[in-house]
Amino acid sequence: MAANIQEYDPPSSASSDSDVCDRVYEDTRVYEDTVFYHDVEEDTDSFHIVSPPQSPRPPSACGSQKSPRARRQRTTSMSKSKTTNTSAESVLRSHRRTIYTAGRPPWYNCAGEQVKPFVIGICGGSASGKTTVATKIIESLDVPWVTLFSMDSFYKALNEKQHELAILNEYNFDHPDAFDFDHLIPTLKRLIKGKKVEVPIYNFVTHSRENKTKTMYGANVIIFEGILAFYNQEVLKMLDMKVFVDTDPDVRLCRRLRRDICERGRDLEGVLKQYCTMVKPSFSHYIAPGMSHADIIVPRGGDNKVAIELIVHHVHTQLSLRGFKVREKLASSAIGQPLPSSIFLLPPTPQVQGLHTFIRDKDTSRDEFIFYSKRLIRLVIEYALSLLPFKEIVVETPQGGSYEGKRCATDKICGVSILRAGETMEQAVCDVCKDIRIGKILIQTNQATGEPELYYLRLPKEMKDYLVLVMDATVATGAAAMMAIRVLLDHDVPEQNIVLVSLLMAESGVHTIAYAFPQVRIVTSAVDPEINDKFYVLPGIGNFGDRYFGTEPAD
């Protein structure tokens, strides 16, 4: 195998090198980090970078691309190579399939409950090909949301003296003491719980942590990779599957030599000194014993197709046991049951039906479509507001005398729209609630898996005190709405404080949400009986966002 040495690049450049990231959104750093890392130079046959194809709900924030950040500077004074072909392409195409990697697929089962992710630990000596194995696993897994969590981010900051030693090739980067386990362990724990974590960014030039951190979210599959991945007992307990990459020491030394001398311009003497005095002894003392913990030992690293297939098969079995395939399951459940008690259907007056007729008609012009859908949205929002808590009050009238009336019992109301179609409802909610705060959530359907994925999240602070109107124009399977509700629950919003507002829902979506979140109130103006194979509601309205924003694909 060619010197396929790919180390996980420290996060500073993880999201910046993308040249195809059509789906870069302002402030999406939280999500874009969790992507595939692969070596473009080596794997061009199996990976092609392609621009993201049209998804049924294209992002609304197109064009807000960030300018690429400068790549991390590289150093030759460290023990490990830091080849960086790490990139954050949101779409990768392997020889068989196109994989979308930017968004987060469901992290809960079809009852809306949090599901524990599957954690794979990959250990192996320096230059053994851990990242290649990780990449191949990810590629074959075909699971879009995978967090690759590297020990390298947790190198300890060096003091001045240690820094000088490092320059002289005398600092041992392969020793357990070089890593900050006290920081690593809680971070990994939180990640496994599905919580947001801040991962330090280690600067290999100054050997210190940068002020910035990288935000990572939990995932369905977490791959934890590092030379000492199996060293710590507590870390070991968190790993569901332990993979040791066992590459022949000669091969590893060859790779190091080639990389450090040919690519980094270091001298043979220095590299060998470092290898003999530190890298090799550390391997024998701390890394090789990790093999006894391994479930699978992969000889020859990434070239070992059989081993990788075995691993992938096992992970798939585990994932399906954990119930991650949400949407397919959702679409088929509970058809024909009576509607749940948590649904509030706008009374179908002639006006409401007339408005539906306008916006459902495929021949309605966009101008009219927008106008009539706005009217309908306003009615739905007004209706939704009647579900707020009210208290009875008595007011003084200008005519003298008092008047017994009602007043809303809370002023903490906020809207959260599910991009893009949900945004069309923001204006109406602002028109009826003065100064209302609006949060946004971007969820896209992954074309390859049909699953919803979370891309972007901006919510008002202190959400837990608010009554939240979640807005989406149409709800088909309910998968996106469910994800949005799950996000709110993760932000400590009480379930009974959530109201889901939409124009049109499919019956199955209503059941799904009511089943998963019985206390969430559902407000809509119509419930349609069916969903087609593209997850559109039937008879439906078509793609609401496309029709409203004028982005229908040309025929």
Partner 1 sequence: MELVENKENLEIGAGDCIQLKKNILLELKTDSIEEYGPNLKLLPSNDQVRELQTILRDRNTTRSDFKFYADRLIRLVIEESLNQLPFSKCTITTPTGAQYNGLRYERGNCGVSIVRSGEAMEQGLRDCCRSIRIGKILVESDAETHEARVVYARFPEDIATRKVLLMYPIMSTGNTVIKAVNVLKEHHVLEENIILSNLFCTPFAAKAIVQTFPQMTILTSELHHVAPNHFGQKYFGTD
19 near partner 1, rule: CB under 8 A:
no
Q: Does residue number 360 form part of the binding site for partner 1 (CB under 8 A)?
A: yes
- Picking from 255, 225, 261, 247, the residue whose alpha carbon sits closest to that of residue 42 is 255
Minimum Å gap between C-beta 384 and partner 1 is 9
**Cα separation of the two ends of the chain:** 47
User: How many residues bind partner 1, per CB under 8 A?
Assistant: 47
Can you tell me which of 64, 206, 351, 496 binds partner 1, judged by CB under 8 A? 351
CB of 385: closest distance to partner 1 in angstroms? 5
Q: How far is the CB of 371 from partner 1 (least distance, A)?
A: 7
272 touches partner 1 by CB under 8 A? no
* Residue among 386, 529, 453 nearest 31 (CA): 453
User: Per-residue x/- marks for partner 1, 451-490, CB under 8 A?
Assistant: ----------------------------------------
What is the rounded CA–CA span in Å between residue 324 and residue 317?
11
- Least distance (Å) from partner 1 to the CB of residue 420? 17
For 237-291, the three-class secondary structure string (H helix, E strand, C coil) is HHCCEEEEEECCHHHHHHHHHHHHHHHCCCCHHHHHHHHHHHHHHHHHHHHHHHH
Whole-number Å distance between alpha carbons of 486 and 408: 26
What's the CA gap between 354 and 359, in Å, rounded?
9
Nearest to 215 by CA among 456, 462, 530, 505: 456
Closest approach, Cβ 353 to partner 1, in A, equals 4
Q: How many CB atoms lie within 10 A of CB 285?
A: 12
Find out whether 21 and 276 touch, Cβ atoms under 8 Å. no
Distance CA 233, CA 176 (A): 13
- Tell which one of 292, 362, 554, 555 touches partner 1 (CB under 8 A): 362
Looking at 78, 540, 545, 548, which residue binds partner 1 (CB under 8 A)? Answer: 540
The reply to whether 521 sits near partner 1 by the rule CB under 8 A is: no
Contact call for residue 335 and partner 1 (CB under 8 A) = no
Q: Which of 58, 62, 64 is nearest to 551 (CA)?
A: 58
Site for partner 1 contains 218 (CB under 8 A): no
Residue 265 touches partner 1, criterion: CB under 8 A: no
Residue selected from 350, 365, 554, 555 as contacting partner 1 according to rule CB under 8 A:
350
Q: Could you say whether residue 354 binds partner 1 (CB under 8 A)?
A: yes
Number of Cα atoms under 13 Å in the Cβ half of residue 364: 22
Is 415 a residue that touches partner 1 (CB under 8 A)? no
CB nearer partner 1, residue 110 or residue 467: 467
Judged by beta carbon, residue 341 or residue 397, the one nearer partner 1 is 397
314 vs 20, 32, 101, 288, 344, CA distance in Å? 32, 27, 21, 24, 44
* Binding status of residue 536 toward partner 1 by CB under 8 A: yes
Do residues 522 and 513 make contact, with C-beta atoms less than 8 angstroms apart? yes
* Interface map 373-412 toward partner 1 (x if CB under 8 A): --x--xx--xx-xx-x-x--x-xxxxx-x-x-xxxx----
Task: Say how far residue 444 (Cα) sits from the centre of its chain.
Answer: 11
Site for partner 1, rule CB under 8 A: 347, 349-351, 353-354, 356-357, 360-363, 371, 375, 378-379, 382-383, 385-386, 388, 390, 393, 395-399, 401, 403, 405-408, 431-432, 434, 532, 536-543, 547
